[in-house]
């Protein structure tokens, strides 16, 4: 039987054990101050430390927290605005009423992947919030942790491992032209990898995302050299 994915890439990926990323991004309170976000009335005090993935999901799933509180925690965790893109943070926050509406609906309804992805397309598109960031919201706010984050690192990894264009790119970024079908196909590939490696799909996604920076983790270092 032929290997399930492209070699030697699949073998490299399989031989890197799962390691939780731990706290990443920015402390939510610091993130808000850095980008000068206002209109925070009614929100609880924001954490003054970096959060890990499980903590962000717990906050976003907790109906005692307003969805915009969870949104801030998710965007700070994901590093929205990094690399000189701070204007996108402000542009998105200016559409917080639309964001609130979409996230309240997402958190209260058991949507499939396509319908969840559609919440942020067409008339509901949030300026400054492309697929790499709104799929973070899908993961954190969906009732089950099976709506995976589709950012440039995970999507590029899936395209490499499959040998086909599962996710469309515009330059180095996940393209806005990706349809719900692209997202569904992407998530199904992670489900398949999950079965083959006997770990949950969101852990596969975390493994594909890996860690960058000055000392990248093995999979990110491998991808950087492709």
Q: What mean pLDDT is predicted for residues 209-216?
A: 92
Q: What mean pLDDT is predicted for residues 107-116?
A: 97
Which pTM does this prediction carry? 0.95
CA-based angle 65:33:83, to the nearest 5?
A: 105
Does residue 4 have a pLDDT over 90?
no
pLDDT tens for residues 48-95?
999 999 999 999 999 999 999 999 999 999 999 998 889 999 999 999
Task: Please give the share of the chain, as a percent, with pLDDT higher than 90.
Answer: 92
Does residue 109 have a pLDDT over 80?
yes
- pLDDT value of residue 25: 96
Does residue 18 have a pLDDT over 90?
yes
Of 5, 25, 57, the closest CA to residue 189 belongs to: 5
Helix, strand or coil, per DSSP, at residue 174: strand
Helices 96-108 and 131-141, axial angle in degrees (round to 10): 40
Helix, strand or coil, per DSSP, at residue 153: helix
Q: What mean pLDDT, rounded, does the chain reach?
A: 95
């Amino acid at each position: 039987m032929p290997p399930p994915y492209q070699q030697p890439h699949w073998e490299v990926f399989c031989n890197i054990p799962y390691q939780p990323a731990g706290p990443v991004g920015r402390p939510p309170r610091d993130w808000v101050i850095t980008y000068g976000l206002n209109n925070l009335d009614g929100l609880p005090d924001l954490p003054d430390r970096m959060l890990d993935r499980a903590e962000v999901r717990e906050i976003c799933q907790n109906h005692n927290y307003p969805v915009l509180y969870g949104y801030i925690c998710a965007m700070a965790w994901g590093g929205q605005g990094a690399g000189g893109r701070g204007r996108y943070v402000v542009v998105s926050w200016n559409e917080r009423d639309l964001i609130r509406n979409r996230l309240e609906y997402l958190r209260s309804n058991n949507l499939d992947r396509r319908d969840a992805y559609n919440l942020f397309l067409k008339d509901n598109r949030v300026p400054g919030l492309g697929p790499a960031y709104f799929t973070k919201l899908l993961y954190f706010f969906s009732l089950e942790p099976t709506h995976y984050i589709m950012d440039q690192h995970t999507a590029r990894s899936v395209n490499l491992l499959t040998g086909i264009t599962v996710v469309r790119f515009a330059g180095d970024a996940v393209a806005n032209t990706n349809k719900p079908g692209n997202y569904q196909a992407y998530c199904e590939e992670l489900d398949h990898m999950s079965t083959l490696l006997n770990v949950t799909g969101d852990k596969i996604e975390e493994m594909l995302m890996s860690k960058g920076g000055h000392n990248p983790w093995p999979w990110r270092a491998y991808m950087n050299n492709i």
